[in-house]
Chains A and B, each alone.
Chain A
Amino acid sequence: KQEVTQIPAALSVPEGENLVLNCSFTDSAIYNLQWFRQDPGKGLTSLLLIQSSQREQTSGRLNASLDKSSGRSTLYIAASQPGDSATYLCAVRNSGNTPLVFGKGTRLSVIA
């Protein structure tokens, strides 16, 4: 059974810092991996999706990497801003159009 772990559970950084969020999964035979952002009391916003054949995806200040063989992904946020404060969720898809398996998220606070 696929399990997804995110470390740390919470992170607080000063504005301007670069930071890395970690995600690990137990079954490396994934189809793709998705990073989401969730603001308090809100739904999930998709940030980046990485196919199993890819090593990284970039969108603005965000860069997600995937090391499928070791069962790990990282989300790199450059020059963090207070508006980046949210919970970041990692989720993997095992095959085709199947449900996502989620980690419990990392709650990020960026202090001005």
Chain B
Amino acid sequence: DAGVIQSPRHEVTEMGQEVTLRCKPISGHDYLFWYRQTMMRGLELLIYFNNNVPIDDSGMPEDRFSAKMPNASFSTLKIQPSEPRDSAVYFCASSPNSGGFYEQYFGPGTRLTVT
């Protein structure tokens, strides 16, 4: 398996523009997580899905952020409109729902810069 795939790897955009980040989880994994990493706050959960259904979105900063998972192999995180404080590395992770370990596998991340 190729692992968790994220695109784009880097995104530079101007304040006010819409940004869409994409994630393809590992095939067969039932859980998908979106995290954000900043120097100040470290890694924080934004939202997670189980079987394509959002379970907890309490970490989503505000209404400018939205996430979807239309099928088991694809998820998007959208920011509209983007602001400079959204600059961070966004990680997607997936995990299986079997075995009892629930080990999470992370993608390479998308480094977002909003100017």
Contacts and interface: CB of A to CB of B under 8 A. Distances in A.
A105 B107 CA distance: 18
Nearest to B101: A49
B92 to A, nearest CB: 9
A43 B108 contact: yes
* Range, interface on chain A: 20 to 34
Nearest to B56: A99
Which of the four size classes fits the interface of chain B? Answer: 20 to 34
Contacts of A103: 42
B29 to A, nearest CB: 10
A31 B79 CA distance: 33
Given A43-B106, A97-B97, A104 B50 contact: no
Contacts of A43: 91, 106-109
A100 B104 CA distance: 9
Interface of A: 31-32, 34, 36, 41-46, 49, 51, 89, 91, 93, 96-105
A25 B50 CA distance: 26
A65 B100 CA distance: 19
Given A99-B56, A102-B42, A102-B43, A42 B108 contact: yes
